[in-house]
Structure 1
Amino acid sequence: MKKKIVFLLSWTLMSMQLCAQVNPKPGFVITNNGDTIRGVIDFRTNERLAKQCDFWAAGETKGETYKPGDIEGFRFDNGGKYFVTRRLNVTGTPELYFAEFMVQGMMNLYCVAYNQDEYFFFEREDGEMAQLTKRAFFTSASIHEQSSRVEEQREQYGKVKLLLKDSWKAAEEIKGGDVSRKQLVNAVRDYHKDVCTDGSSCMVYEYNEKSDGPKNHFKAIAGYSYYTHERTAYQTLEDENYSGSTFEAGLGFETELERVTKGGALELCVVYSPQASFKHHTMVRGGHESSYTIYKKARCMGSIGLLKRYGKGKIVPLIRVGGFYVLHLGNKEERYYMSKMIVDKDWEQTNHFGAYIGGGVEMALGKHAARLHADLFKSLESSGKGNMMKFGVTAEYVL
């Protein structure tokens, strides 16, 4: 069963990646002759946009894929991101990239996303340039490589401060440690305030922080679930199959992954089910009537996973896959034989973890959405700790 669950999870994740589709946003490209062509651009990750621009001109069904140098640049509408072709040294050899304009003015600031890292380039109006690298949080670099990177960063900070020397405030804002887009844009903005003497800001373009942020949603959850193969906190019988049903309610949070996969989202959910009874019957060897055990408990379950919607329209199908952790509360076990209670005990909290997979539909309701989906949850712990399976039908209202 575990192999089947792992296979289903792997298959779902691969299918979500293969069916990524496009994420079209209105914008325009700037040709090498300076002309602008309006249309839609596939809005993907910064790393992908640094390598290519997938563009569909207005009124055209056939798209074009532009590489750095094929066009001067491209830009998304409504204060969106702006990329231009620049030859920059990211890997040790100068190459052409679509560099994202963070600031355009007397001091330009570009950013190139490459291999999980971000490379920032400060370019003064006289052509003098300095670089600052923001390494990814997760890295497989060796201790020697880490030491070299610390030295590299120290040298880079010194060169950037020297380039910004005409603005004491801007130079002071460039400090070691965390390098954020907002911090660097603020420093270059202060540079322009100090060096512009004609009363203007001297800034033609400035990065909008909201252009990078994903959309987030909260949701209300209600459902009904049937549990089977439940195991009690203290189970001495060979037959482990306890079954029963319960209502559930909870809250969830989603962040969209449209730039990674169209219709994708990362979801976190917490649901609670009040105390419910699960009954188990077995014939005691040599007995005259069956013995039965009543197991009572409440549950609090947290889950994290991926959600993928397919197609367009008011009603679309969806799939879900992820992992969960369940905490059992108020474990109580009662066992009866010949109408007499022979066990009456309260147990400490128990827990287990596993994986889930499911599918359903989503219906758009203006800016909100309603969902209905069915899911299979399966414990992935050893059989000695429980083989719980849960079949649930859940309704969600996404804000």
Structure 2
Amino acid sequence: MKYISIFFILFCLSITLNAQSNYKRGFIITNEKDTIMGLVDFRTDRTNSKICKFKKSEKAEEQVFYPKEIFGYMFIDETKYYISQTINIKDKNYDVFLEYLVKGIKDLYFYSDETDNLDYYFLKDEDGKMISFTKEPDKIIDNTLKKDDKYKRALNYAFRDCEAIANNVDKVDFGRRSMIKLTEKYHKQMCSPGLECIVFENNYKKKFTKINLSLYSGTQFTDYSFGMEKLVQYKSVQCLSPVIGGQFNISSPRLIKSLSIQADISLSSLRFENDHIWDSSTFGSTTYEKFKFKTLITTGELGFKYTHPNGKFSPTIEAGISYSILSDASNSLYSESIKNGPRTIDNYVSPPMHYWGGYGGIGLNYQVNKKHVVFCRFIYNRMSYLSTKINGVGLKIGYML
């Protein structure tokens, strides 16, 4: 496992040494209400509420803005809009960037607070009065589950001017989707016919977890050690075979753009034959043996992959655990001597079918366009079961769909 450890150390160092950013098309709004188009760093909800990193273009210098320094900012494709506000939580004032969920007759905002680890919603009416509400985690008291439903009373009060909405807040979950839908229904009820009362609405259906599917083929060099006394003369055999496979990469660019969880499955074969001549002083004869072995190897890998975030060409490092299954295995031993003549023993040995281990790899991605990538990967895989070992080195060339 020494090589796997080296890969893992390099992997961690790469994450530490490379600062993360996730710039998306957007704009900032100055305190003078001027709009400046450019790129905005798209991070987690809590990071977005504290800071805005902005560049006028890909190669421009990064500018950093804090609440009150600008009026707000927006991500265009993600339809996420933030404005600078002073809020009060537990009798303390905070300057933050509130996420605008609905802008209309009543404005709905969202804020995630790291101090008490709670989510907050804010409703502001036409007079500028703001109501906040949150939900404490469920608790078990005296073997009874206690739920915090105080937010429903706050909603009832906030929408008291619309009886149809106020009377149905008991059915509302404490979630972004539910809050946006409730506010949207309020506007439909209160809006005059023919008028559009919602100026902006957050696209809550958009998901920010990225999933990529890749297919690849290549070649695999396998060193297989039986570790069986019956095959002491064939301690290690080697085979070069084609390999095909596919992989899923799941990432959250808002959290760490360059890091993904990778699941990989591949199919290769192990096929060889080896012969041996040995002299038996006991029986006074020479024996010729030929051992044949073939099997299919299905390998699954689960680990982490780091991709350097900048440029058309991006180096990658990956490491994780691996698991292989041998299937359709068969083997035979042919022997021939002057004294005993020829004979063949089918299924001479019964090798283990399951192997666990680890893998590490390096590679290079080429960005064809915004969605598609061509890549090559060099992978080292080491697995074992008791004294039987599989060591593999592979070259895989593929395409990210």
State the TM-score bracket (shorter-chain normalisation): 0.7 to 0.9
Superposition CA RMSD, Å: 3.8
**Map of 1:398 onto structure 2:** 400
- Give the AA of the match of 1:267: Q
**Map of 1:276 onto structure 2:** 270
What TM-score do you get using the length of structure 1 for normalisation?
0.79
Report the Cα offset of residue 52 of structure 1.
1.2
Change in CA separation of 1:174 and 1:67 when aligned onto 2, cut-off 3 Å: farther
Report the Cα offset of residue 91 of structure 1.
8.0
Change in CA separation of 1:369 and 1:210 when aligned onto 2, cut-off 3 Å: farther
- Give the AA of the match of 1:270: I
Change in CA separation of 1:291 and 1:19 when aligned onto 2, cut-off 3 Å: farther
- Give the AA of the match of 1:277: R
**Map of 1:138 onto structure 2:** none
Report the Cα offset of residue 291 of structure 1.
5.2
Q: Does 1:361 align with 2:364?
A: yes
Distance 2:391 2:46 in 1: 41
Quick check: 1:331–1:346 contact (8 Å CA) kept in 2?
no
Distance 1:293 1:300 in 2: 23
Change in CA separation of 1:104 and 1:311 when aligned onto 2, cut-off 3 Å: closer
Range with bigger deviation, 10-19 or 113-122: 113-122
Q: Does 1:246 align with 2:241?
A: yes
Change in CA separation of 1:231 and 1:186 when aligned onto 2, cut-off 3 Å: farther
- Give the AA of the match of 1:186: K
Quick check: 1:170–1:188 contact (8 Å CA) kept in 2?
no
Change in CA separation of 1:221 and 1:110 when aligned onto 2, cut-off 3 Å: same
Report the Cα offset of residue 89 of structure 1.
5.4
Quick check: 2:280–2:287 contact (8 Å CA) kept in 1?
no
Distance 1:290 1:120 in 2: 80
- Give the AA of the match of 1:317: P
Distance 1:144 1:293 in 2: 66
**Map of 2:61 onto structure 1:** 62
Range with bigger deviation, 167-176 or 72-81: 167-176
Q: Does 1:168 align with 2:164?
A: yes
Quick check: 2:303–2:318 contact (8 Å CA) kept in 1?
yes
- Give the match's secondary structure for 1:387: strand
- Give the AA of the match of 2:305: L
Distance 1:212 1:88 in 2: 27
- Give the match's secondary structure for 1:189: helix
**Map of 2:293 onto structure 1:** 295
Counterpart mapping for 1:246-395 below 5 A: 246-273=241-268, 275-279=269-273, 288-289=286-287, 293-310=291-308, 312-338=310-336, 340-342=343-345, 344=347, 350-366=353-369, 367-379=371-383, 384=386, 386-395=388-397
Distance 2:40 2:83 in 1: 14
Distance 1:349 1:384 in 2: 9
What TM-score do you get using the length of structure 2 for normalisation?
0.79
Range with bigger deviation, 157-166 or 297-306: 157-166
**Map of 2:4 onto structure 1:** 5
Report the Cα offset of residue 389 of structure 1.
1.7
Report the Cα offset of residue 123 of structure 1.
0.7
**Map of 1:184 onto structure 2:** 179
Distance 2:245 2:74 in 1: 41
Distance 2:380 2:186 in 1: 57
Report the Cα offset of residue 99 of structure 1.
1.9
Alpha-carbon displacement from aligned partner over 1:185-224 (angstroms, at most 9, x marks no partner): 2222112111223543422211123655244332222121
- Give the match's secondary structure for 2:255: coil
Change in CA separation of 1:365 and 1:37 when aligned onto 2, cut-off 3 Å: closer
Alpha-carbon displacement from aligned partner over 1:353-386 (angstroms, at most 9, x marks no partner): 332222222233345222122111122x6x6254
Distance 1:240 1:170 in 2: 78
Computing the radius of gyration from Cα coordinates, the structure with the larger value is: 2
Alpha-carbon displacement from aligned partner over 1:232-268 (angstroms, at most 9, x marks no partner): 8x77556753432322222333345433344444433
- Structure 2 alignment gaps of length 5 or more: 337-341
Identity %, equivalent residues: 21
Distance 1:69 1:310 in 2: 34
- Structure 1 alignment gaps of length 5 or more: 136-140
Change in CA separation of 1:89 and 1:377 when aligned onto 2, cut-off 3 Å: farther
- Give the AA of the match of 2:164: W
Range with bigger deviation, 263-272 or 94-103: 263-272
